[in-house]
Structure 1
Amino acid sequence: MRLFQLSIEQLFICLFIIFTVLVGYFVHSLTKTGAIAAAIVGFFVASGFGINGLLLLGSFFVSSSLLSKFKATQKVSLSQIVEKGERRDWQQVFANGGVAAVASLLFFYTESMLFHMTFLIVVASSNADTWASEIGALSKQKPLTIKGLQKVEKGTSGAVSLLGTVAAFLGALFIAIVALFLFKGIDGKVMIFIMLFGFLGSVIDTLFGAFLQVTYKCRKCGLITEKKQHCDRETKQISGFSIVNNDVVNFLSGLIAAAAGSTIYFMSEFI
């Protein structure tokens, strides 16, 4: 009887994942490769945290997708700066969900709170960064780059605005609150850890975006962009490292914040 119940649960989870990625594809939130990658991440997360893990991951994906479409006409100019559009490809999916997937698999084998915290913080970090980007783009003021404190165009990596910073904090808090309701053993202390280190991930993302991420300059119009081509011409690299694009920055910032937060929390349990 237990085996039958387990198989029914597994079937439901499989259908839930497939349905979710298909909806994401048909509403243009995911590309074909993004949908496949999202399904892989979903199955890994389900292996460790079941339907609750998927619901937490879904909270990030759904809220981020809705925000990307919110007042989209005011964000049209961003397409000239950012490398990719609102449809997530496999690289974007793994950049935001890869660490969460691995943490879920490790939790499946160990059931260690270390990997549980890693999962929760990296999702909070991804959500904080995405909310900062999507909501910050609606600021009436141009953001300031932390590298030189100069006003730059909205969408520029390594730039901050008050609205975007508040959005990042709220994005991390949102995931922390969802986790509080979904998982047993998540109390106020854990929620604060998730929120603080999720927000820290967004801060690290900004720092890496300013000092490490590759940027280019259009040879025709002079626009600073993440694109390798602009105005039908190859752009000129002016800063950063060529291998460090936005996906790499997202992956590293989430990984560092999650590793730091989960390690500190794990060690604090023995003090």
Structure 2
Amino acid sequence: MFHECDSCDDTCSPVLQLTSMDSEGDILMKEYTKMMTDMIVLCVTLALSLFFWVISLTISTYYGTLQPVSPWRWLFSILVPFVVTVRALKKKSLDRSGALGALLVGFVLTMANFSFFSSLLAFFFTSSRLTRWGGAQKKKIDAEYKEGGQRNWVQVFCNGGVPTELALLYMIEVGPGEIPIDFGKQYSASWMCLSLLGALACSTGDTWASEVGPVLSKSQPRLITTWKEVPAGTNGGVTPVGLAASFVGGLVVGVAYFVTQLLLVSNLHFADPQWPIILYGGVAGLLGSMLDSYLGAHMQYSGFDVSVGKVVGYESATTRRICGKPILDNNGVNLFSSILIALILPGLAWWMWPR
């Protein structure tokens, strides 16, 4: 009835042997299914990229001004955003609606310009990691704290909608591909590139400030409009640590854009200097965060609810108003901030850009 196992000194029953075999069979089946799923995804992606390539070739024969897009660019623009989105979905950085929105944003930005793609990745990965960091501290002060910071489609488009629209305009202007920032040779396209970079740096700076400030800051936040001390979590509250973090976050996005330019643009020596892109990202992150705080102080309601002991965004009998009016929510403030930075900051950059 019993026999010795080869892998141990204990006696094992046939039932345990069968259970072990079933378990190994399930593991093999899961690995096989995963492998087949990956193969199917790759084949579908290849088919889609070739299909779009044929379409671009057909269109280019009728419209001579349009250049066909390489099938490898189609493949990269479909496959890489898909892989990143699936990974984010598994890590609960996105919910299902957010994943669909991220797929669209990622595809458009990657197709338009790989520098856009690298800047988007810098924003997404750093923001997702910082959102999970210091969760215990953030939970104490944020009444709406969500574990993992899972983003939905509204949050994705409020942060990525402006860059997506700019990327589409960029492709209409010069087509998919990488170009140097050069106002003398590519005025409107350079403006669009800096607008897009500014919008992403603005979102990154605001996220870094709101995620790093509450964890590392030792001082009480001050309302940006009056400079009076306010409770942590108040819309419009800023700290020196948070402002510094917003500048560093923008720098990270600028570095990602600049490095991609160095790697992929061959004629940089004929264009204006590109290093100001890094500083531009930092300034956009800082100004974007300050603008977000200013709008939040005026257009987002903040009150202290004594029943929960936290700052909340709703009015109730137990809530004491701190600042703001219930006009916009956090997503609306983020959207307006990125729009204003995208519209205003490139003009200042054009005036100050070294030539």
TM-score normalised to structure 2 length = 0.67
Whether 1:193 aligns to 2:280 is: yes
Q: CA deviation at 1:143?
A: 1.1
Q: CA deviation at 1:211?
A: 1.4
The residue aligned with 1:264 is 348
The residue aligned with 2:97 is 33
The residue aligned with 1:176 is 254
CA distance in 1, matches of 2:78, 2:154: 22
The residue identity in structure 1 corresponding to 2:214 is A
Question: In structure 2, do the counterparts of structure 1 residues 169 and 260 end up closer, same or farther at CA, with 3 Å as the change threshold?
Answer: same
Kindly indicate whether the alpha-carbon contact (under 8 Å) linking 1:81 and 1:156 is maintained by their aligned counterparts in 2. no
Kindly indicate whether the alpha-carbon contact (under 8 Å) linking 1:113 and 1:266 is maintained by their aligned counterparts in 2. no
The root-mean-square deviation of aligned C-alpha atoms, in Å, is: 2.9
Q: CA deviation at 1:150?
A: 3.1
SS at match of 1:224: strand
Q: CA deviation at 1:114?
A: 1.1
Structure 2 gaps of 5+ residues are: 1-49, 55-68, 175-188
- Residue correspondences, number: 266
The residue identity in structure 1 corresponding to 2:111 is S
Question: In structure 2, do the counterparts of structure 1 residues 206 and 70 end up closer, same or farther at CA, with 3 Å as the change threshold?
Answer: same
Deviates more, 1:85-94 or 1:157-166: 85-94
The residue aligned with 2:141 is 78
Question: In structure 2, do the counterparts of structure 1 residues 75 and 220 end up closer, same or farther at CA, with 3 Å as the change threshold?
Answer: closer
Question: In structure 2, do the counterparts of structure 1 residues 188 and 11 end up closer, same or farther at CA, with 3 Å as the change threshold?
Answer: closer
The residue aligned with 1:132 is 209
Q: Deviations over 1:59-83 (max 9, x none)?
A: 1100011111122222212331569
Structure 1 gaps of 5+ residues are: none
The residue aligned with 2:238 is 160
CA distance in 2, matches of 1:113, 1:39: 25
Kindly indicate whether the alpha-carbon contact (under 8 Å) linking 2:131 and 2:148 is maintained by their aligned counterparts in 1. no
CA distance in 1, matches of 2:225, 2:319: 21
CA distance in 1, matches of 2:109, 2:340: 19
The residue aligned with 1:105 is 168
Q: CA deviation at 1:221?
A: 4.6
Q: CA deviation at 1:266?
A: 4.1
SS at match of 1:30: coil
CA distance in 2, matches of 1:7, 1:154: 50
Whether 1:115 aligns to 2:174 is: no
Whether 1:23 aligns to 2:110 is: no
Pick the aligned partner of 1:209 from 292, 296, 300.
296
TM-score normalised to structure 1 length = 0.86
Whether 1:248 aligns to 2:345 is: no
The residue aligned with 2:131 is 68
Deviates more, 1:75-84 or 1:7-16: 75-84
The residue identity in structure 2 corresponding to 1:136 is G
Question: In structure 2, do the counterparts of structure 1 residues 85 and 246 end up closer, same or farther at CA, with 3 Å as the change threshold?
Answer: farther
CA distance in 1, matches of 2:235, 2:146: 11
SS at match of 2:234: coil
CA distance in 1, matches of 2:147, 2:126: 19
CA distance in 1, matches of 2:282, 2:120: 15
CA distance in 1, matches of 2:107, 2:315: 34
SS at match of 1:137: helix
Kindly indicate whether the alpha-carbon contact (under 8 Å) linking 1:82 and 1:226 is maintained by their aligned counterparts in 2. no
Kindly indicate whether the alpha-carbon contact (under 8 Å) linking 1:124 and 1:194 is maintained by their aligned counterparts in 2. yes
Question: In structure 2, do the counterparts of structure 1 residues 160 and 107 end up closer, same or farther at CA, with 3 Å as the change threshold?
Answer: same
The residue aligned with 2:228 is 150
Kindly indicate whether the alpha-carbon contact (under 8 Å) linking 2:213 and 2:245 is maintained by their aligned counterparts in 1. yes
